[in-house]
Amino acid sequence: MIETILAITGKPGLYKLISRGNNMLIVESLVDGKRMPTHSRDKVISLAEVCMYTDGDDIALNEVLTLLGKKEGLKPASIDAKNADNDAIRTYFGTVLTNFDRDRVYPSDIRKLINWYNILVNAGITDFSIEEGKEGEKAVGQEGEKAKGEKAKTAPKQVKTQKAATASVKTGVGAKKG
């Protein structure tokens, strides 16, 4: 489900992929339901391709969102990320993901993650799983990334969302700002 949820650089909120057109994607805002095109010049981030730095291996964003959902009971976050100070944000997030890399994950990244979680929950999206594509089918942002039956790598990488649109997809919540 989360592979069709997109963040677009320079535009607030999250968007759901509706359709692909020539040199553009058609997306719908999860906040207000308005549809709009995104063109090849827009940088698009698929949440399925985002990962977070930890002290060990990086963890996929869908797993972090699932942990946050378990802590909050699939309700909006109990902390006001916009007004909380940096120490409170780090302490709160430490209860969700105890081994996050405190040097590479900034408070602004945690705020963005909490904001994304709240948008998803308020839109009724509580299934944070990544669906495996059908035979030969590829999810958004994963052209050439998945062989049949294999899982895509969650390490930060640059991929294209479609051949014609070539919308850049960056990964790595916690280090690369989108």
Model confidence pLDDT, tens digit, residues 136-146: 333 344 333 33
Domain presence at residue 35 = yes
The pLDDT of residue 94 is: 92
Convert the pLDDT of each residue in 8-67 to its tens digit.
988 889 999 999 888 889 999 999 999 999 988 889 988 989 999 999 899 999 999 999
Same domain, 112 and 143: no
In sequence order, what are the beta bridge partners of 35? 28
Convert the pLDDT of each residue in 88-133 to its tens digit.
999 999 999 989 999 999 999 999 999 999 999 999 888 887 776 5
Query: In sequence order, what E strands does the chain have?
Result: 5-8, 15-21, 24-29, 35-39, 44-46, 51-52, 59-60, 159-160, 168-169
Tokens of 84: 């909380």
pTM more than 0.75:
no
Domain presence at residue 177 = no
Q: What percent of the chain has pLDDT over 90?
A: 43
Domain enclosing residue 97, as ranges = 53-122
Same domain, 118 and 59: yes
Same domain, 105 and 58: yes
Domain presence at residue 34 = yes
**Which one, of 112, 99, 84, lies nearest residue 175 by Cα?**
112
The tally of domains found in the chain comes to 2
